[in-house]
Amino acid sequence: MRILNHAALAVCGSLLVLANAETFTEDLLVKPLQDGRVLLHFEFSIQRTASTANETLYHYHLFPRQIGEISRRYDVDELHLSFTQGGWRESKWGSPPVNSQGIGAEVHARIKGGDVIQSESQWRGLTNALSGVFCASLNFIDTTNTATPQLTFAADRDAATATSGVLRHGYLPRENVCTENLTPWIKQLPCQSKSGLGLLLNPYRLYSADFHSMGLSLSFAKGPKGKRVQQYKQRLSVVVDPSALGLGGDGWTLSELVDRQLGTACPAATRSTVRVIQPSSGLKLAPKPASTTKLAGRGVSVFDLRKQPNVDIAFEFAPQKDYGAWPSERPSISAHRYVTGHGGSNGGVEATLTNRGDRAANVTYLDVLPWYLRVYSHTLDIQTQAADGSWNLLRPTSTAFTPAIDRGRPSSIEVALVLPASSRTTLRYSFDKGFLKYTEHPPDANRGFNIGPAIVSYQHDSTTGAELPLHCAIEQALSGPSECTVRAYTELFLASLPTPDFSMPYNVITFTCTILALFFGRIFNLLTRDFAVLKPVEALEE
């Protein structure tokens, strides 16, 4: 019995040590927007010490086991997955709270090792595994819609913990987001929807929002005492319209906004807070927050669920309904893309990059087009319009072009540019439209094909005095100082390809069957009829 007691104590002690190696935090950011809508940004973070020892490699206390086994099985060093529905209106809502706001499903991962062929099979297995976990169509990401960017995502890596690997990027612009994706996403949380901020994840309210972005990220970073730590984050951002929910414009409570009541903090969380970004005036909160702080120069009221359980925050706006009494914090660089040309043989793309800052900015532009839009690199033309209205030729500092292979890989254009201050830069390039087999067309072929967005990436320059983007401010407030990488996504566009006459197979089948029926009937009649020669007299007698 004494030996069993000592063994039990040893096991409990080891589990406590392993549990202490993992930390979990949950935070909710509430920001009233200028047009009366409200931004809700949930962020759940798990951090654990990276170890290769067998006793800790296969132990999962707070870290989700599914994600851990997938990352280990497919040698994933870095993973980012997002599902987005609706467009982010930066002119009214300012900078977005997430760095991936392209409509559809986006996956990019860094596979360990430098073998491209081996990484291809690992990437294929990774997308299939994520498809099964999150009930999504990620298994449709294959070689035909997978790119290998060289410049765009390079800034996301931590130089202190970076390892060699192959970066893969896939996009599904037609992927719809629904509760089938939210349910497994919630199951990855330590407390799921039983307690903590997970109680507020009401799918009926989340999916009636004007903007919805759900994602996760897995990466390595440098932790305390120089140790390599593994970070796993789940983010969910929604923009809710209180007036569409029947709530008064002068005030409402958080429970009325999400139709769920907050309870106690998640027992596994070391931090559980609700943070409200205060406008300059016109908003009163009740009850009194536990503390106040600053976020990107704005006042923030912090409610601590560990000290204030079952809190229901009441928002009371001034009679003038000044929901956001500050100018819109639009990003310094914005991007838009359009399709040009007409007809069924060729077309083009025109992208516009606007630099509103008073300094030049280094950006990278990435556009991945499917194989049936055959891009010609020699047609790339880059012009910039200065503040005085004059147009000049702009030469890129670096260019990476990958031609497409029919039914094999997409074409990608990646350009590094230096945008002049207060300028408007236009990129133009042409493509030819390929012919698809009639079995490769979707059921609504005449609607066209959705083409994923282009991505503009740049580093935020803090020396310019420009306001820190919201997602970087959130990252630094919750996780500590870090470099700010900003990615802007353009709109999707529809590519109209030559569409066959889908009635022709029916016409051919019916015409052929008619001819065969007539021919078979005539031949069958000739082969089965009994012919007899009759004399004229016998014919008359008969």
DSSP structure string for 174-233: TPPP-HHHHHHHHHTSSSTTTSGGGGG--HHHHTTSSEEEEEEEEEEEE-GGG-EEEEEE
Q: Could you give the CA distance from residue 108 to residue 296 in angstroms, rounded to a whole number?
A: 28
Q: Two tokens at 194?
A: 């039983």
Q: Two tokens at 431?
A: 């493509």
Q: What is the pLDDT of residue 484?
A: 85
Q: Could you give the CA distance from residue 282 to residue 204 in angstroms, rounded to a whole number?
A: 29
Q: What is the pLDDT of residue 42?
A: 96
Q: What is the pLDDT of residue 82?
A: 94
Q: What is the pLDDT of residue 328?
A: 57
Range list of β-strands (E), 64-113: 76-85, 104-112
How confident is residue 215, by pLDDT bands cut at 50, 70 and 90? very high
Q: What is the pLDDT of residue 331?
A: 83
Q: Could you give the CA distance from residue 521 to residue 356 in angstroms, rounded to a whole number?
A: 79
How confident is residue 364, by pLDDT bands cut at 50, 70 and 90? very high
The closest of 417, 427, 445, 426 to 375, measured between CA atoms, is 427
Question: Is pLDDT of 325 > 70?
Answer: no
Q: Could you give the CA distance from residue 38 to residue 170 in angstroms, rounded to a whole number?
A: 31
pLDDT single digits (tens) 60-73: 889 999 999 999 89
Q: What is the pLDDT of residue 53?
A: 53
Please answer whether residues 200 and 258 qualify as being in contact, where contact means their C-beta atoms are separated by less than 8 angstroms.
yes
Span 448-455, average pLDDT: 92
Q: What is the pLDDT of residue 470?
A: 84
18, amino acid identity: L
Torsional class of 362: left (φ above 0), alpha (ψ -120 to 50), beta (otherwise)? beta
Q: What is the pLDDT of residue 11?
A: 41
Residue bearing the bigger pLDDT, 56 or 95: 95
Q: What is the chain's mean pLDDT, rounded? A: 85
Q: Could you give the CA distance from residue 15 to residue 22 in angstroms, rounded to a whole number?
A: 11
Q: What is the pLDDT of residue 472?
A: 86
Which residue(s) pair with 83 in the sheet? 105, 214
Q: What is the pLDDT of residue 58?
A: 66
Q: What is the pLDDT of residue 541?
A: 63
The sheet that has 269-277: what strands, in order across it?
146-147, 165-172, 104-112, 76-85, 211-222, 228-240, 38-49, 22-32, 269-277, 298-304, 291-295
Question: Is pLDDT of 4 > 60?
Answer: no
pLDDT single digits (tens) 96-112: 888 877 889 999 999 98
Q: What is the pLDDT of residue 165?
A: 83
How confident is residue 524, by pLDDT bands cut at 50, 70 and 90? confident
How confident is residue 452, by pLDDT bands cut at 50, 70 and 90? very high
Q: Is the peptide bond before 32 cis (omega within 30 degrees of 0)?
A: no
Please answer whether residues 356 and 363 qualify as being in contact, where contact means their C-beta atoms are separated by less than 8 angstroms.
no
Q: Rounded to 10 degrees, what is the CA torsion of 226, 229, 234, 239?
A: 10
Which residue(s) pair with 252 in the sheet? 315
Q: Could you give the CA distance from residue 334 to residue 331 in angstroms, rounded to a whole number?
A: 7
Residue bearing the bigger pLDDT, 250 or 235: 235
Span 391-414, average pLDDT: 92
Helix, strand, coil percent content, the chain, rounded in steps of 5? 25, 35, 40
Q: What is the pLDDT of residue 20?
A: 45
Q: What is the pLDDT of residue 380?
A: 94
Please answer whether residues 168 and 123 qualify as being in contact, where contact means their C-beta atoms are separated by less than 8 angstroms.
yes
Question: Is pLDDT of 475 > 90?
Answer: no
Name the 3-class secondary structure at 120: helix
The closest of 21, 137, 82, 72 to 471, measured between CA atoms, is 82
DSSP state of 121: H
Residue bearing the bigger pLDDT, 91 or 1: 91
Span 272-290, average pLDDT: 88
Estimate the crossing angle of helix 116-133 against helix 65-73, to 10 degrees. 160
Q: Could you give the CA distance from residue 541 to residue 130 in angstroms, rounded to a whole number?
A: 89
Poorest-pLDDT segment among 144-158, 302-316, 508-522: 144-158
CB atoms within 10 A of CB 280: 11
- Please list, in sequence order, all residues whose beta carbon lies within 8 angstroms of the beta carbon of residue 524, skipping any fewer than 6 positions away: none
How confident is residue 530, by pLDDT bands cut at 50, 70 and 90? confident
Span 136-144, average pLDDT: 92
Residue bearing the bigger pLDDT, 38 or 165: 38
Q: What is the pLDDT of residue 21?
A: 78
Span 87-104, average pLDDT: 85
Residue bearing the bigger pLDDT, 18 or 319: 319
Span 277-301, average pLDDT: 86
